[in-house]
Amino acid sequence: MPEPVQEKSTKTTCPYCGVGCGVIARVSNDGTVSVKGDPEHPANFGRLCSKGSALAETLDLEGRLLYPEIGGRRAGWEEALDLVAARFSQSIAEHGPDSVAFYVSGQLLTEDYYIANKLMKGFIGSGNIDTNSRLCMSSSVAGHRRAFGSDTVPGTYQDLELADLVVLTGSNLAWCHPVLYQRLAAAKASRPEMKVVVIDPRRTMTSDIADMHLAIAPDGDTALFNGLLTHLVTSGAIDQNYISAHTHGFAEAFAAASALELPALTKATGLTEAELRDFYRLFETTEKVVTCYSQGVNQSSAGTDKVNAILNCHLATGRIGRTGMGPFSLTGQPNAMGGREVGGLANMLAAHMDLEKPRDRDLVQRFWNAPGLATKPGLKAVDMFRAVAQGRIKALWIMATNPVVSMPDADAVETAIKACPFVVVSDILRETDTARHAHVLLPSLGWGEKDGTVTNSERRISRQRAFLKAPQEARADWWQLAEVGRRMGFGQALGHTSPAEVFAEHAALSGFENDGRRDFDISAHAAIDHDSYDALSPFQWPQPRGTAPQEKRFFAEGGFYHPDGRASFIPVEAPKANTGSDGFPFTLNTGRVRDHWHTMTRTGKSARLSSHLAEPFVEIHPRDARAIGAAHADLVAIESPCGIVVVRALVTERQAEGNLFVPMHWNDQFAAKARIDALVAPVTDPFSGQPASKNVAVRAMRFAAATYGFAVSARKPEGLDAPYWAIAKAEGGWRMELAFAGDDADWIGWSRRVFSIPHEIEPIGYTDRTSGELRLAFFDGDKLLAALFLSPQPVAVARNWAVTQLGVSHANLGKRFAVAAGRPGADKPDPGATVCSCFSVGANQITAAIRDGCHSVEAIGEKLSAGTNCGSCRAEIRGIINACLAAAAE
């Protein structure tokens, strides 16, 4: 654990999702950290989800990168920074500024991002800085800019509570923005007349509170919202005054929208006429509508058009910027918005200005005193890694992102990085799928150690504050960038000595020659000093010079940022329905699970978070599973022309037929072959350059194994060589799923090697000749070191029970044999798969409580505490209750 800075509570902001919850971190005298929600923060008013609640469990120094490394050897900062500066300068001198690139992240703080962008665009003079926000928010950015003339989110979180209809499209809010979901669920509970519509090919946990779930065909959104626009016109629900006073292009947009008649609409959306009519009628007759959208909209080859199809409907009804109304782009990362504000995307310039506009370039050039400012946009992420592969980029700096896992065509991205002459990676961990290919590794400060600001989905800027000392030699990302910039000769422009100074400059630029022409203006903070920065309370932008903090919505009275002040309707056409391609009949959809964050570098450290879903899986419809001969818990290989993964089958009717869903999280550190982006083709949206990560043509087949295994081990397993393995952190050790091609290995020898068992320890064994099952357990005195359960079928041992055996004393020999036999005793029943990660309550415990008469989420909460802390599992508990009661009624 890093050392505490001071023994007191610190107000800071959660480093995970774009809800941007306020957190109070407390460091006790013995150095232990605890976190709770900040009751005063306007994003969460004290609530936290499962990931936020478990933050303290991710702060240990295990696996941290703690000093710079060059070519795998420890180096000093001076040497590492000199080398990075020299290699970047050399490449620029020999091949020009476009031969270098930065690939950064929406998880950087605004101050880090500002310096990265200033160094690359202002002083290196290239646009080649792009960010993982390209994979995340760029279609929303492009859609906003086409419609509004600026990248503006018009509304606030409160609008979701005040609306009478909330449409959630391409958003699994319950798992991905859990506190906002809780706010919505609470509003709906207090006003049951409020309606929620969820539009998603899968029936996700978010559908739990929905009055209507529309299982849309992949990429059917443009057709759906075009049909809606047509319906709004024909039913007379449009706001003609708003359209004529504040917009242009309505006729063209309507003409494009009405191209599809009802029969074609049902085909394109995969919905019935009745479903379409019900949804359209609800939208037509409800004034207060908020339409929230996220990656089911953005991550598409037509993502920008989807965004504009949605914006068109809100503009046509004038339902924008008023209380309880408007389109709402849900941002993913903690600082997706801050990155956009500093212009971190390759085609943007600082403070929401445009790299392609000479006037904007001139303004920024003068403000920065940067005669060499880039004159054209740089390469967007997919093109950037293509340029790396082609040898056009010779020096690459990757910061706070893990592209070998998260970029489409991930195997090709890995090959490109490996072949790049000079790669710098700044990360908090030493071993990631990307870091392993770096020539220079730079240790960054992590959450709790670094200082700066982030902007959440509702334009609220909050401080992240340090409450732990920098561990060993880790340093802030902005400092690393500025130090390299100084060594490259740009010292005058990068002389900042603190994040407060960087923030002040960023605020000043936002107001520079602005006069209301640009939406992003926080110049009220242009002269902020260190003390005020330390004390800065969360505030929403805009906050121009001389104004007090305000809660502002945009565009109720027009005032758009196109030169004529009007919004543009964008005519959009529905893409042709995807009919699959030869030999690749399934549509692969990818996304997130409740308790993991992206590539698991932080959530993978928490046993509690890792127990919710402990291995990579594919959601598959029962009929599809039958068709490929796979039963529940079998392994499935999924393949596209780009790559292959092997994951567990999770057979469920929540999944639509013909579609598969695999989470994006698992990577080479946690599984043998589960980097799903290895399958995703690098197909991008033509306007935003955002990859289509949710609609990939694949084939699937049962993965035959001769032997399946499950194991628990006190030590992290080493050298796993099985064709399938997936490891997860457990209380007191690790748990893992395994599959082998053969059935006659030297399992004792294998276990000794993989679980690091001292040679003097003999196993307790158990073989069942009829079932072919074999169990081995290794004890050191009364302590279980490892247990391996093997079977010709997927292993049926009670997982969570087995995991708890690592932590208990096995003084009684009989109990040791029970472990080897894989049989929970009556005194310690199997809790079942974890549902509530805050209180470690499993599905079997919940089922038992239901049998005992607890028939509501509240009753379960009273009996087991499940669902009473962060509330992230309440939808799942309700699902178990409904399933049990339905089964009992049959």
Q: Give me the least distance between CB of 456 and Mo ion, in Å please.
A: 13
Q: Give me the least distance between CB of 47 and ligand SF4, in Å please.
A: 7
Of 171 and 480, nearer to Mo ion (C-beta) is: 171
CA pair distance 156, 167, nearest whole angstrom: 15
Instruction: Give me the half-sphere count of Cα atoms (radius 13 Å) on the Cβ side of residue 827.
Output: 2
Of 428 and 777, nearer to ligand MGD (C-beta) is: 428
**99-to-120, 128, 133, 749, 797 alpha-carbon distances in Å:** 12, 9, 22, 51, 55
Instruction: Write out the H or E segment, with its range, that includes residue 883.
Output: helix 874-889
Compute the 3-state secondary structure of the chain and give helix, strand, coil in percent, each to the nearest 5.
35, 20, 45
48, interface contact from ligand SF4, ligand MGD, Mo ion, none, CB < 5-8 Å by kind:
ligand SF4
804, interface contact from Mo ion, ligand MGD, ligand SF4, none, CB < 5-8 Å by kind:
none
455, interface contact from Mo ion, ligand MGD, ligand SF4, none, CB < 5-8 Å by kind:
none
Tell the residue number behind the tokens 């319906």, with chain if given.
Answer: 231
Of 105 and 514, nearer to ligand MGD (C-beta) is: 105
Instruction: Write out the H or E segment, with its range, that includes residue 365.
Output: helix 358-368
Q: Give me the least distance between CB of 371 and ligand MGD, in Å please.
A: 30
674, interface contact from Mo ion, ligand SF4, ligand MGD, none, CB < 5-8 Å by kind:
none
| Beta strands at 773-780 and 763-768: parallel, antiparallel or unpaired | antiparallel
CA pair distance 684, 220, nearest whole angstrom: 17
E-assigned strands of 295-421? 326-329, 348-349, 353-354, 395-399
399, interface contact from Mo ion, ligand MGD, ligand SF4, none, CB < 5-8 Å by kind:
ligand MGD
Q: Give me the least distance between CB of 185 and ligand SF4, in Å please.
A: 13
738, interface contact from Mo ion, ligand MGD, ligand SF4, none, CB < 5-8 Å by kind:
none
Angle at which helices 874-889 and 857-864 pack, to 10 degrees? 110
- Residue ranges binding Mo ion (CB under 5 A): 136, 332
CA pair distance 769, 537, nearest whole angstrom: 67
Of 98 and 677, nearer to Mo ion (C-beta) is: 677
200, interface contact from Mo ion, ligand SF4, ligand MGD, none, CB < 5-8 Å by kind:
ligand MGD
Say if residues 350 and 656 touch (Cβ distance below 8 Å).
no
- Residue ranges binding ligand SF4 (CB under 6 A): 14, 16-17, 19-21, 44, 48-49, 51-52, 177-179
Residues 6+ apart with CB under 8 A from 258: 226, 229, 230, 233
14, interface contact from ligand MGD, ligand SF4, Mo ion, none, CB < 5-8 Å by kind:
ligand SF4
590, interface contact from ligand MGD, ligand SF4, Mo ion, none, CB < 5-8 Å by kind:
ligand MGD
Of 334 and 682, nearer to ligand SF4 (C-beta) is: 334
Q: Give me the least distance between CB of 215 and ligand MGD, in Å please.
A: 10
Comparing every residue's Cβ against Mo ion, the nearest one is: 332
For the chain, the straight-line distance linking the first and the last C-alpha, in angstroms and rounded, comes to: 53
Tell the residue number behind the tokens 């089958």, with chain if given.
Answer: 649
Tokens representing 279 are 């949804």
Of 381 and 860, nearer to ligand MGD (C-beta) is: 381
Q: Give me the least distance between CB of 45 and Mo ion, in Å please.
A: 24
Q: Give me the least distance between CB of 687 and ligand SF4, in Å please.
A: 28
Say if residues 140 and 329 touch (Cβ distance below 8 Å).
yes
Of 553 and 605, nearer to ligand MGD (C-beta) is: 605
Q: Give me the least distance between CB of 244 and ligand SF4, in Å please.
A: 41
Q: Give me the least distance between CB of 336 and ligand MGD, in Å please.
A: 7
Q: Give me the least distance between CB of 406 and ligand MGD, in Å please.
A: 3
| Beta strands at 659-663 and 586-591: parallel, antiparallel or unpaired | parallel
- Residue ranges binding ligand MGD (CB under 6 A): 17, 105-107, 132, 135-136, 169-172, 175-176, 199-202, 204, 216, 218-219, 221, 294-296, 299, 332-333, 399-403, 405-406, 426-429, 432, 444, 446, 450, 477, 589-592, 594, 596-599, 601, 664, 676-677, 680, 693-694
Q: Give me the least distance between CB of 294 and ligand SF4, in Å please.
A: 13
Concatenate the DSSP letters of all residues of 550-599 into one string. ------TT---SSTTS-EE-----PPPPP--BTTB-EEEEEE--SS--TT
Cβ-based neighbour number of residue 583 at 10 Å: 10
φ, ψ of residue 584 in degrees (nearest 5)? -130, 75
Of 332 and 604, nearer to Mo ion (C-beta) is: 332
Q: What is the DSSP letter of 267?
A: H
427, interface contact from ligand SF4, ligand MGD, Mo ion, none, CB < 5-8 Å by kind:
ligand MGD
Q: Give me the least distance between CB of 151 and Mo ion, in Å please.
A: 16
374, interface contact from ligand SF4, ligand MGD, Mo ion, none, CB < 5-8 Å by kind:
none
Instruction: Give me the half-sphere count of Cα atoms (radius 13 Å) on the Cβ side of residue 61.
Output: 17
CA pair distance 213, 199, nearest whole angstrom: 6
Comparing every residue's Cβ against ligand SF4, the nearest one is: 52
Q: Give me the least distance between CB of 210 and ligand MGD, in Å please.
A: 13
Of 48 and 310, nearer to ligand SF4 (C-beta) is: 48
169, interface contact from Mo ion, ligand MGD, ligand SF4, none, CB < 5-8 Å by kind:
ligand MGD
Of 407 and 798, nearer to ligand MGD (C-beta) is: 407
44, interface contact from Mo ion, ligand MGD, ligand SF4, none, CB < 5-8 Å by kind:
ligand SF4
| Beta strands at 9-13 and 22-27: parallel, antiparallel or unpaired | antiparallel
Tokens representing 251 are 């006729």
Of 83 and 820, nearer to ligand MGD (C-beta) is: 83
Three-state secondary structure readout of 18-38: CCCCEEEEEECCCCCEEEEEC
Q: Give me the least distance between CB of 227 and ligand MGD, in Å please.
A: 14
Q: Give me the least distance between CB of 384 and ligand MGD, in Å please.
A: 14
Q: Which of 445, 454, 653, 429 is nearest to 538 (CA)?
A: 454
Q: Which strands form 460-464's sheet, in the order they lie side by side?
A: 452-455, 460-464, 539-540
Of 203 and 815, nearer to ligand MGD (C-beta) is: 203
Of 33 and 336, nearer to Mo ion (C-beta) is: 336
216, interface contact from ligand SF4, ligand MGD, Mo ion, none, CB < 5-8 Å by kind:
ligand MGD
**422-to-19, 90, 388, 390 alpha-carbon distances in Å:** 36, 11, 10, 14
Tokens representing 862 are 């009273």
Tokens representing 156 are 């606030």
Say if residues 274 and 265 touch (Cβ distance below 8 Å).
no
Comparing every residue's Cβ against ligand MGD, the nearest one is: 332
Tokens representing 876 are 């799942």
